[in-house]
Chains A and B, each alone.
Chain A
Amino acid sequence: MILNEEYRLKVGLAEMLKGGVIMDVVTPEQAVIAERAGACAVMALERVPSDIRRDGGVARMSHISLIRGIMDAVSIPVMAKARIGHFVEARVLEALAVDYIDESEVLTPADEENHIDKRDFKVPFVCGARNLGEALRRIGEGAAMIRTKGEAGSGNIVEAVRHMRTIVKEMRQLTVLGPEELMAEAKKHQAPFELIEWVAKHGKLPVPNFSAGGVATPADAALVMQLGAEAVFVGSGIFKSENPELFAKAVVKATTYYRDPVKVMEACEEIGESRAMVGLEISKIAEGELMQTRGW
């Protein structure tokens, strides 16, 4: 794997986001609330995933004026989403100079076979993954950050847990194998051999591994951190809660102090009686409406 200068810079920004919370925002005002609460970055989009799910139809890249308004409103990094395989949306976001592009299953895929060749861009990309093979395929294409997919807009942590546990387990299994066993693993995971070798040697991904898709409470955030996430994306969980400001602050605190039950308890207490977003049971979501199965 070629860790050239540009790739190191892309991964470098992801390193700076570690231990932090990246929040979905749909207006400059929400971006300011997120920054004041201690978000380490914001994801600028028109609708949070739970609204995309409710509204149906084709979900595309957000309006430029909206993203620009959010970039002007805050000093922290701003990310934006492009559809899977839609390299022109990605070029547009790069021209806009967003800090990170999320090639995201939350939007309606533009290509059912190919993801974007991300090596060719100067702006770094984050991509979703449900297992090690998917993560390494995205890294092979040039992604500089991986986030577990979970199930966006569900407010249900179960898929995020499943995906994080899967990736961590699959990485751990590689570390105990001999060199002659790794090609078979590359075949099994359908992943580039060099990256399988890298993970076998280091026991982790060559890029930061964040969690997304279902975090709705401070305890959810601490849970995925303890399972191995290095930072947390919160989509609908903040601004679909009853009190976004309190939830945002509490999730930030629980993410920093994820190993300290007393601090996480304090974070849970800080939201008072305000309700988290309404969650969905995954089995009640029609299979065709699952977001996590978009991309491969």
Chain B
Amino acid sequence: MALQGDYERHLRALQSAGAHAVEVRTAAEMAAVDGLVLPGGESTTMLKLLHREGLFEPLAAFGHEKPIFGTCAGAILLATTVTSPEQESLGLVDIAVQRNAYGRQLDSRVVTLPSSLGDLEAVFIRAPIIRAAGPAVTVLATYNNDPVLVEQGRHLVATFHPELTADSRVHAYFLTKL
């Protein structure tokens, strides 16, 4: 989904994981793909564009049939509940997310995390924290006891940015859901 944010980095990560990746900005383009990535960026900006361009409902409908991978801002859009401040979301993954929960840019960080996909380098940038996860959600990695990589059925959520590293394992894992 190329409305705003680091979609170009996702495009490259998907390509290096072996996918045919394209930029999606319209409902027609959305209808032509098997899975979608909601990139990092500003969730408020994306939300406003989704509504103004009549993409919010098509995106929610897409998520009821096909897989979506949300990173950072994308994770916020996929959640059922968003706080600080409260914000509308798609409600496709049963998580409660707090925005900018680590603080401002000065509190951004790079850490190495064990996960069910092996050790991952995790880049957190003004990242949200998953404060609660429903029973249908599987946690694949945690940081400071908070879930940071989770899945629910066909959907995948990361509060960090796998697209900013050279490692495409998380994207490759998402492709197995298509």
Q: Which residues of A contact B (CB under 8 A)?
A: 5, 8-9, 12-13, 15-20, 35-41, 75-77, 94, 97-100, 122-124, 249, 252-253, 256-257, 260
Label chain B's interface by main secondary structure.
Answer: loop
- Residues of chain B within 8 A of A257, CB atoms compared: 25
A12 and B125 contact, CB distance less than 8 A: yes
Residue ID in chain A nearest B42 by CB atoms: A40
Q: Is the CB of A253 within 8 A of B6?
A: no
Q: Which of B9, B49, B72, B99 contacts A253 (CB 8 A)?
A: B49
- A253 CB contacts on chain B under 8 angstroms: 49, 52-53
The answer to whether A13 and B41 have CB atoms under 8 Å apart is no
Q: Does B75 sit at the interface, judged by CB under 8 A?
A: no
Query: With A and B bound together, what is the CA distance between A257 and B85 in angstroms?
Result: 28
* Residue B73 at the chain A interface, CB threshold 8 Å: yes
B9, B44, B49, B161: the one contacting A76 at CB < 8 Å is: B44
Closest-CB distance, B72 to chain A (whole angstroms): 7
The segment from B60-68, B88-96, B104-112 found at the interface with A is B104-112
A77-B126, A124-B105 known; A20 and B42 CB under 8 Å? yes
Would A122 and B106 be within 8 Å (CB), given that A41-B42, A75-B100 are in contact? yes
A116 to B8, alpha carbons, bound, how many Å?
A: 30
A38 touches B104 (CB 8 A): no
Could you tell me if A15 and B110 are in contact, using CB atoms closer than 8 angstroms?
A: no
Tally inter-chain residue pairs, CB-CB below 8 A. 109
Q: Which residues of A contact B45 (CB under 8 A)?
A: 20, 38-40, 76, 252
**Contact sample, A vs B, 8 pairs, CB 8 Å cutoff:** A9-B123, A12-B164, A15-B5, A19-B41, A20-B4, A38-B49, A97-B106, A100-B105
B52 engages A249 (CB within 8 Å): yes
Say yes or no for B145: interface residue by CB 8 A criterion: no
B124: nearest chain-A partner, CB-CB: A9
In the complex, chain B residues whose CB is within 8 Å of the CB of A40: 4-5, 41-42, 45
Tell me which residues across on chain A come within 8 A of B84, comparing CB atoms: 75
A13 / chain B contacts, CB cutoff of 8 Å: 105, 108, 125-126
Residues of B within 8 A of A18 (CB): 4-8, 41
- Nearest residue, chain A, Cβ from B110: A5
Q: Which residues of A contact B41 (CB under 8 A)?
A: 16-20, 40
Given contact pairs A8-B164, A40-B41, A253-B53, enumerate 5 new A-B contacts (beta carbons under 8 Å): A9-B105, A12-B123, A12-B125, A19-B41, A99-B105
